[in-house]
Amino acid sequence: MKPVTNEAMLITYADSLGGDLRQLHELLDGELVGAFGGVHVLPFYPSSGDRGFAVVHYDTVDPRFGTWDDVERLADEYTVMADFMINHVSIRSAEFQDYLAHGDDSPYREMFIRWDEFWPGGSPTADDLDALYSRREGGPVRTFTRADGTDVQLWSTFFAEQVDVDPFAEATQAYYRRTLGRLAQLVPIVRFDAVAYASKRPGTSCFFVEPEIWRVFDIGTEPLREAGTQVLPEVHERYELQLAMAERGLWVYDFALPMLTLHALMTGRTDRLAHWLRICPRRQYTTLDTHDGIGVVDVAGLLSEDEVDLVSERVSAVIADSRHLVRGREPVIRRSGQQARRYQLMCTFHDALGDDDAHLLARVLQLFVPGIPQVYYVGALFGGNDLEALAAVGDPRAINRHDYTVEEVRERVALPHVALFLDVLRWRNRCAAFDGELTVTETGEPGGLLLRWTRGGDVAELRADLLARTWEITATTADQDDDAGAPVTLFRSLRSGDQG
């Protein structure tokens, strides 16, 4: 299999680009050739809900998408990232169904967290509930009826098709060893979905609780070590948590970048973004958008609340006329009794910015941020809000989950801004300078930002004007022939003329 490399990675569902894994592979080799060295295929296992994230089992690939042979062929040519739900399983899983059938006699009884056994005294106090980091009304608990008619309350952080597991129970660890041991033989990196919620202790937020969270990482990574498979934890919260994980040698996400980029392009201010680029982890995967939308909570401490509200309100205004299509509540988070705040923004990154020029600049900026750029498939194709999908399912996240036919992909990649972005990706994947050091300079002009990567004689430089939405990329290579060794202009924004 192909190992992790410093090349752009596409994020996509198995069926969102052409309909299945085989067609995805053909598009990567064809219309998208050279643009991506890796692909994060969102959950491709049999699932009972949450578009793949309520995994029934990891033994097979959902036959609608393909087979393990398709995954292995893809992994031979591209760095494949796969998901593992370390915090929860589907309520349709064999383990949970066995528990419902046999109750306390089930070998999986300790795998699931009984609400009354978790809390001293059998139930949480008002202070306990206030302290929880909660994603939904009513708290992270649901009532299930076992085969003998007994009702039991179990910890359930997310959706109705998912139930949490106790990572410290031997039954859970055996489940981890079995499933992760197989994944380790097939892919070089595994994403631990919702891992921060797996650390729970009474009287705490039950989210990224120390030292429990580090034990969770030790337990989860143990089945991967022999194969050398790496881990990417998915943790949406303040940037200090990403720094803490990075200090322990873990890959991390740059989930602060989306809001910082939107703020910079909406206001023309470079200081917030520049500060982050100077202090952010270097061993990270960068994003602008994901299948869940545009994260908001991750930028706390890097933008003020007023600045967060400015960006959030502008993006929310874009979809204001479509809110009647949403069934249920939009994502919010409650921290330690505080007022609920937006958790994610439901909008494509393109429509959040409003035009192709701003969106292209955002994408190019991401390619100069430290780390491996992950590009969500809708963003890569400069896709707009899918109101038909939103109306069909009512889930606000559907607005950013359009499924493209092969013909649609071909039409999108021919668009000037998309074609230019793909060319910049191809160059970035080959440029040795991005394995070097980054210098961040605010030019002193309003909206002016200069990002310069240097590795020996290889230099890559992006000069951008965030107010005008113009930019230019120049480069110098160690084996350059010209006498002066002057930088060569490779790409520039479409507003400023033809390409070099």
Give helix then strand counts, H and E, for the chain: 17, 21
Question: Are the CB atoms for 252 and 208 separated by under 8 Å?
Answer: no
Q: Is the pLDDT of residue 102 over 60?
A: yes
Q: Which string of DSSP letters, residue by residue, matches 193-254?
A: ETGGGG---TTS-SSS-TTHHHHHHHHHHHHHHTTT-EEEE---S-HHHHHHHHHTT--EEE
Q: Tell me how many degrees the CA angle 155-156-162 measures, rounded to the nearest 5.
A: 135
State how far the Cα of 314 lies from the Cα of 351, in Å rounded to an integer: 11
Helix segments in 319-415, DSSP class H:
349-353, 356-367, 377-380, 387-393, 406-413
Q: Is the pLDDT of residue 484 over 70?
A: no
In which band, very low, low, confident or very high, does the pLDDT at 478 lie, cut at 50, 70 and 90? confident
Torsion angle, alpha carbons of 476, 478, 481, 486, to 10: 30
- The distance from CA 382 to its chain's CA centroid, rounded to whole angstroms, is 18
pLDDT at 337: 57
Q: Is the pLDDT of residue 397 over 80?
A: yes
pLDDT at 481: 63
Question: Are the CB atoms for 375 and 349 separated by under 8 Å?
Answer: no
pLDDT at 264: 99
Tell me what percent of the residues of the chain surpass a pLDDT of 70.
Answer: 95
Question: Are the CB atoms for 10 and 375 separated by under 8 Å?
Answer: yes
pLDDT at 479: 81
pLDDT at 496: 45
Structure letter (DSSP) for residue 493: -
| Tokens matching residue 309 | 């509200």
In which band, very low, low, confident or very high, does the pLDDT at 499 lie, cut at 50, 70 and 90? very low
The CATH class, in words, for 9-90+165-432 is alpha beta
Residues 106-120: what's their mean pLDDT?
98
| Of 456, 454, 494, residue with least CA distance to 474 | 454
Active site residues: 193, 234
Q: Which string of DSSP letters, residue by residue, matches 124-189?
A: --HHHHHHS-BSSTT-SEEEEE-TTS-EEEEE--S-TTEEEB-TTSHHHHHHHHHHHHHHHTT-SE
| Tokens matching residue 321 | 């006329």
Largest pairwise CA distance in the chain: 84
Residues 456-462: what's their mean pLDDT?
97
Write the pLDDT tens digit of every residue in 404-429: 999 999 999 999 999 999 999 999 99
Q: How many other CB atoms are found less than 10 A from the CB of residue 329?
A: 10
pLDDT at 334: 66
- pTM (2 d.p.): 0.96
In which band, very low, low, confident or very high, does the pLDDT at 335 lie, cut at 50, 70 and 90? low
Torsion angle, alpha carbons of 483, 485, 491, 495, to 10: -90
| Tokens matching residue 474 | 């120049």
User: Domain residue spans in the chain?
Assistant: 9-90+165-432, 435-496
By mean pLDDT, which of 50-64, 264-278, 341-355 is the weakest?
Answer: 341-355
In which band, very low, low, confident or very high, does the pLDDT at 498 lie, cut at 50, 70 and 90? very low
Three-class secondary structure of residue 54 per DSSP: coil
In which band, very low, low, confident or very high, does the pLDDT at 500 lie, cut at 50, 70 and 90? very low
| Of 387, 430, 303, residue with least CA distance to 37 | 430
Write the pLDDT tens digit of every residue in 154-180: 999 999 999 999 999 999 999 999 999
Strands 372-376 and 9-12: parallel
